Chains A and B, each alone.
Chain A
Amino acid sequence: MIRWLLWLLGGIVLGGMVHLATVLALPVTATRDAYSRLLPMTPVNSVVPLPEPAPATALLPFADPAFAAAVCRYDLTAAPLKLTAPVSLAYTSVSFYTRKGIAYYAINDRAAGRRVIELDLMTPDQHAEMPEQEDVTAADRLIVESPTRTGLIVLKALAAEPGQMASARRALAAARCRPQPQ
């Protein structure tokens, strides 16, 4: 009897390890995460408008239908990236995600404080390599460090009323993300 209980206890301990291992391994092995879903329809380093969420076309689950959205799938291997996004009527935000969909930075139009949100995205290594003088002269330049070489930038413009959707989409259509010449 005791022996069977020991076998059972061993099973419970091993089960705990299986649980932790699967939870930690899941992000690494996932094939249907946001980046993988967007991969076929987004050329690298350019802004692509996302289809409006509708019952039939749920590209990403739990997307907010009140927003026009665009995505820039980036790869910083060759060079840092420059992002410019004009703000729309109501509310505009830019969110940065790692390859695994972790939101590491987000900024909205009010925090950016201008008519155009302008950002430089680079890896920590590229930031360290930047000439120091340039860093000083461009004090008002907003620099964002990406923890991964690849990832997603999601631009969103709110259509506070359905009639504003067209102008929100137009504002996003003027957004650009392109590698910086070095």
Chain B
Amino acid sequence: MRLLFGSFLTFLVAAALGLGATWFALTRGTAFGAVQIGAWTAWPRTGSVDIDPYARAGIARTGELPIGLGDGITFLARTDDAGRPFDGRCDVTVRGTTPAARFWTLTLYDPEGRLVANSANRYGFTSQELVRAADGSFEIVAAPRARAGNWLPTGGAERYVLMLRLYDTPVGVATRAGREAPMPAIVARTCR
């Protein structure tokens, strides 16, 4: 009887722990070799054959096609610089400069990777269509209501993520720190 209970406990713990850890790893996007600069994180190896098993499982689950390293690199931000998750009801500014690249795009998605519907039909910016300051820096404001300048509509979504993609860039596996790749700062301001 004791043997039965004992093995039952073992299998219960094994199933809960094993499946729980897998679910946690895949939904949180755990992958090795991350390059973290401010609030931005990139996984350069995910765009190559050196992709780790967690990222493999991740793309198999979501159906995403990661950007190949010869094409570019993706930086993902889920929170502002203070670590607060993005809230579509708040104003969030993305300000500064980006690493060297021929082109870049900034796109707003819901956490599942879908575009967020909005009345302006704007889902992101490319490096070509931004209004910039005299020194070449830019400021994009993700906000629920229209505003002057580079307005990125949040559609009032409760949670969203930002993706900054650099195309034809030297940033890659060898990049270590923000000095080599200056990423824009993300600051949350007023909420309504």
* Residues of A in contact with B (beta carbons under 8 Å apart): 3-4, 7-8, 10-19, 21-24, 26-27, 30, 32-34, 36-37, 53-56, 58, 60-62, 64-66, 90-91, 93, 95-97, 100-108, 110-111, 147, 152, 154, 156, 158-162
Contact = CB atoms under 8 A, between A and B. Distances in A.
Interface string B98-141: 00001101010100111111000001101111000000000000
B167 A60 contact: no
A22 to B, nearest CB: 4
Given A18-B18, A102-B49, A66 B124 contact: yes
Given A18-B15, A103-B69, 15 more contacts: A4-B9, A15-B17, A32-B63, A56-B117, A58-B114, A58-B115, A62-B64, A90-B103, A93-B167, A95-B70, A96-B68, A105-B70, A107-B70, A108-B168, A161-B129
Contacts of A102: 49, 51, 56, 59
A74 to B, nearest CB: 14
Interface string B53-65: 1101101111111
B114 A61 contact: yes
Contacts, number: 205
Interface residues of B, number: 62
